[in-house]
Amino acid sequence: MLSENMQKALNQQLLMEAQSSQAYLAMASWAEIQPGLKGVTAFFFRHSDEERMHMLKFIHYINERGGFAVVPPLAQPTLTFVSLKQAFEMLYKHELEVSAGINDLVDMALREKDYATYNFLQWYVNEQIEEEKLARDCNDKLEMIGDDRGGLYLFDRDILSLDQDNKGPGRR
């Protein structure tokens, strides 16, 4: 059984995962209307779906532990970006915020001696290591490319393989 505080905190993280899905979806929609960003568009759509799955894991966990998972209202995400670099900078910042939320939950689970929740959260801890690395790698590559259109073409072409390269052994 979840404590009231833990249920509230897990629902807050559920909200963050839902907002992540919406943010990636907005990035995908923006990228889809930019010329030549098919790979980036697919990347953002795939990550939107992935974040939704993360949210659903929270919903199921909260409900299975005797709590009530609240489907949250969502704020409008950023819809347009001045550049692809800005979109990926926002993505990285957002992943750091998600990681901080997960870390706070882990800390709370340990303080409350809620080892089931601690165990559940370990998947998210590992997932965030992967997500942060991927976002950092994308930002590093975009920084190297600068305004080079040929480099941007290669980035777009290779982003899905970069995504696969950041999956460690046994992940997903």
Question: What's the total number of domains in the chain?
Answer: 1
Residue 76 lies in a domain: no
* DSSP-derived secondary structure for the chain: ---HHHHHHHHHHHHHHHHHHHHHHHHHHHHHTSTT-HHHHHHHHHHHHHHHHHHHHHHHHHHHTT--PPPPP-PPPP---S-HHHHHHHHHHHHHHHHHHHHHHHHHHHHTT-HHHHHHHHHHHHHHHHHHHHHHHHHHHHHHHTT-HHHHHHHHHHHHHHHHHT--TT--
Tell me the pLDDT of the chain averaged across its residues: 94
Q: Is 12 domain-assigned?
A: yes
Domain for residue 170, yes or no? no
Q: Is residue 171 part of a domain?
A: no
Asked whether residue 62 is domain-assigned, the answer is yes
Domain containing residue 61: CATH number:
1.20.1260.10
47 falls within a domain: yes
Residue span of the structural domain in which 111 resides: 4-71+81-165
Annotated binding-site residue numbers: 17, 51, 54, 95, 128
Mean per-residue pLDDT pooled into runs of 10, the chain (172 residues): 97 97 98 97 97 98 98 96 96 97 98 98 97 96 94 93 63 42
In a domain, 102, yes or no: yes
Separation between Cα atoms, residue 73 and residue 136, nearest integer Å: 29
Residue numbers belonging to the annotated binding site for Fe cation: 17, 51, 54, 95, 128
Q: Is residue 133 part of a domain?
A: yes
68: tokens are: 């009530």
pLDDT tens figures, 47-96 = 999 999 999 999 999 999 999 999 999 999 999 999 999 999 999 999 99
- What pLDDT score does 163 carry? 72
